[in-house]
Each structure stands twice: as C-alpha cells, then as structure tokens.
C-alpha cells in the first residue's frame, strides 16, 4: 500500500478529537524590517509568533467554538528571524508559512527567497524563486500564497499582473518548475465578475486533498481599476473561491460580513476537522497596520469572529 502524499499527511497530523492547536504566525514588516546587528552589519528581520487555538464543541448545539490564546514572549511565544539577503534594500518580508513534510517553510515576497525555519529562529535558505517564468528578469518572485498539492509545494503570487500569474512547483528537494496559471487566474476573475477594468489580489490559497478542490480566498476584489488609496480602505473581500482540480468548475461563497479595510492574507484547513479553517486578515492603510484571526467552515459559516492580534501586518499562518 502506497504511503499517502504530503498534502494528506499534513491534514492527518491531528485527528477529530483535537482540541488545541499550536499556530505559527509570521510578520511582513515591509520597510520596518531593516535592522543593524551588534556587529554593525545591516540585516532584515521578521517576527515569528506562536499562539494557541482552542476548539471546543457546544454540547447543546454541537457547534464548534474557538478561543485564541496569546503565548507570552518569555514562554516561547515570539522569535526573531534574521535574513542577510535583500533586494533593492529590502528583505525578510515573509508572506506565508507552510509545513512541507516535517519542515516549516517561509517565503520572502521581496527577494523570492525560500527558507526553512529551524529551532524557531534560524533561517536556512533553500532556493530563490524568480519572477514570472523565472528567466525573464533579475527580480525575486513576489510569493504570496503556498499550499501542498500531492508531494509538491505550490507557491503563487497576487495574480494581478502577467508576471504574478505564474506559480512555482517545488519538489521535496526544492527543485523548481515554473507554470503559467494565467488561464486559471482569469477563470477566477470571470467567476467573480470583476470585468476588464477590475482586479483580484490573492494572498491565500489551499488545496483540499480530500475534496480535490482548490480554495482561494482573495484579499482584494474590485470591478474598477487599481487606486491605492481606495484599494487600502475599500477593497477587502469576503468571497471564497472553490474550484475543482482543473478549474473548469468554480463556485463562490460569501463568508461572514465584509469589512472593507480587512482582507485575507492567509488561511489553513484545520487538521482533523477538514471542513473548518483558521485565517488571518490584515489591514494596511498608509502606515497603519493591523492583524486579526478568525475561523470559518467551508459552508460559509463564521465560527469565530475577527480577533485583534496586533498592530502589525501578519501575512503567514500555519498549524504546527
């Protein structure tokens, strides 16, 4: 009997009796990530935080409810990740987390760097993803979402421009294949009805190995051309995209109330409860940044309303 793929094993790390999950959440501090080390060397830094998510079931209704527990820094709730690699004077802008087998992997959306995180605070570079097809420009891939598909790690971008419609497929040895997903991104835009002037910005996606479906939760949806000030305040989305394996069939699902300034930056299916998800929302208006955690199911029900987790931008979430 063949061993199950990484994507299935990831969901089977816990079973249906699980009541407590350890979360890893990573920050993308943009310009604020640059630091000077004790040695005087310039480096770039990101915060990795650990938090607990408690899941209980109401004995009367049978519905799950969630509680978020912030682990203090002195109890191992916060770590600093330092990178020495930058592009254009910026680095360590980590936008996603994914368990790849037994390795926690993160992605720098500025440099295209793929790193394993070891011992909570050590970054081990494994590859550098290049923009678009990989050989058209000396520019790092703007990695924004990642998920496991069979034994591959699929890393994608915003999907707003042609170069961001490519995805990177990494095998277990981090060898990279670039694949043009422009048709798939267009099918999502068509399903959302954004029209020729509009756009969709993706930062969160999951492959569901049991359902054989792709789940995309856009951060921003607009039927009008991009305007940064309007985008920051008004384009936050609450529509989940559910596509079959080849994207030939797509349906959409509203999840809770839309809060125009909040958009989804990451979400993960809960191991042991494959109809439930935990997600991150972030706010970015000028210099104001905020992050929230929430839980929902794949029927569109909100199981836990937005919980404020910090006045910084968190862009990656994974269940350890």
Number of H helices, E strands in the chain: 3, 24
Residues with pLDDT less than 50, the chain: 1
Q: What is the pLDDT of residue 2?
A: 52
SS3 of 247, please?
coil
Residue bearing tokens 């104001």: 288
Q: What is the pLDDT of residue 28?
A: 79
Q: What is the pLDDT of residue 1?
A: 37
The beta strand positions in 247-301, using DSSP E, are: 250-254, 263-270, 273-285, 288-297
Q: What is the pLDDT of residue 166?
A: 98
User: In the 8-state DSSP scheme, what is residue 238?
Assistant: -
For 289-299, the pLDDT digits (tens) are 999 999 999 99
Binning the chain into helix, strand and coil, the percentages to the nearest 5 are 10, 50, 40
For the chain, which residues make up each domain, given as ranges? 6-319
Q: What is the CATH superfamily name and number for domain 6-319? A: Apyrase (2.120.10.100)
Q: What is the pLDDT of residue 3?
A: 76
SS3 of 7, please?
helix
- Which residue in 123, 115, 132, 35 sits closest to 79, CA to CA? 123
In what helix (H) or strand (E) does residue 199 lie, and over which residues does it extend?
strand 199-201
Cα 180 to Cα 8, 56, 133, 274, distances in angstroms: 25, 42, 7, 29
Phi, psi of 24 (to 5 degrees): -115, 130
d(CA 215, CA 275): 12
- Specify the pTM: 0.96
């Amino acid at each position: 009997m063949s061993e199950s793929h990484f994507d299935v094993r990831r969901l089977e790390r816990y079973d249906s009796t699980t009541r407590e999950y350890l979360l890893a959440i990573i920050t993308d501090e943009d310009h604020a990530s640059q630091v000077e080390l004790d040695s005087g060397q310039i480096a770039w830094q990101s915060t990795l935080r650990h938090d607990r998510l408690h899941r209980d079931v109401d004995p009367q209704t049978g519905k799950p409810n969630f509680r978020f527990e912030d682990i203090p820094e002195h109890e191992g709730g916060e770590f600093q990740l330092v990178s020495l690699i930058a592009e254009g004077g910026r680095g360590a802008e980590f936008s996603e987390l994914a368990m790849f087998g037994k390795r926690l992997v993160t992605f720098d959306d500025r440099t295209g760097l793929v790193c394993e995180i070891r011992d909570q605070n050590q970054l081990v570079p494994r590859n550098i993803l290049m923009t678009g097809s990989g050989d058209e420009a000396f520019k790092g891939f703007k990695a924004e979402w990642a998920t496991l598909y069979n034994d591959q790690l699929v890393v994608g971008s915003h999907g707003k421009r042609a170069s961001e419609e490519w995805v990177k497929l990494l095998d277990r040895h981090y060898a990279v294949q670039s694949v043009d997903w422009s048709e798939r991104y267009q099918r999502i835009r068509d399903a959302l009805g954004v029209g020729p002037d509009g756009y969709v910005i993706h930062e969160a996606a999951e492959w569901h190995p049991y359902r054989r479906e792709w789940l995309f939760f856009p951060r921003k949806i607009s039927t009008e051309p991009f305007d940064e000030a309007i985008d920051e305040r008004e384009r936050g989305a609450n529509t989940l995209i559910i596509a079959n394996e080849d994207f030939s069939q797509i349906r959409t699902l509203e999840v809770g109330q839309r809060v125009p300034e909040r958009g989804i930056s990451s979400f993960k299916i809960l191991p042991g409860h494959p109809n439930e998800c935990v997600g991150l929302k972030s706010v970015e208006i000028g210099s104001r940044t905020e992050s929230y955690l929430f839980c929902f199911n794949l029927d569109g029900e909100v199981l836990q309303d937005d919980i404020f987790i910090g006045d910084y931008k968190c862009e990656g979430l994974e269940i350890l």
